[in-house]
């Protein structure tokens, strides 16, 4: 089940970035599936680490592209990136404490 379905409206028109965004959707969906299935901490850690590692690499790549084109909203977009990583870190902490409440929508 896809919790977050990729739609064409999310495309920004830069193929590399669009592919990276699709990969992020896939990783988020996998993490949510693990949470819903009651997966253990080992699975959770692997899924969270995969998501964070990929997100951090993607965010660096995307921010570099934004700098190259003097994107006006870079600072705000960078903040959204940091917020996302913080949210995933909070989920990891809660899962590690046995709460297993993982939701990218709340």
For residue 32, the tally of other CB atoms under 10 A from its CB is 20
Comparing CA positions, the residue from 102, 103, 105, 61 lying closest to residue 81 is: 61
pLDDT tens-digit profile of 33-91? Answer: 887 887 777 787 888 888 889 999 999 999 999 999 999 999 999 999 999 888 887 87
pTM for the full predicted model: 0.80
Angle, helices 15-37/41-68, rounded to nearest 10 degrees: 160
């Amino acid at each position: 089940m896809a919790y977050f379905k990729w739609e064409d409206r999310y495309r920004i028109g830069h193929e590399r970035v669009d592919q990276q965004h699709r990969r992020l959707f896939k990783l988020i969906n996998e993490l949510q599936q693990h949470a819903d299935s009651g997966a253990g901490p080992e699975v959770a850690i692997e899924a969270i680490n995969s998501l964070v590692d990929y997100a951090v690499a993607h965010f660096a790549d995307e921010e570099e592209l934004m700098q190259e084109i003097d994107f006006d909203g870079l600072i705000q977009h960078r903040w959204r990136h940091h917020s996302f990583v913080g949210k995933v870190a909070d989920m990891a902490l809660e899962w590690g404490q046995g709460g297993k409440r993982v939701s990218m929508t709340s």
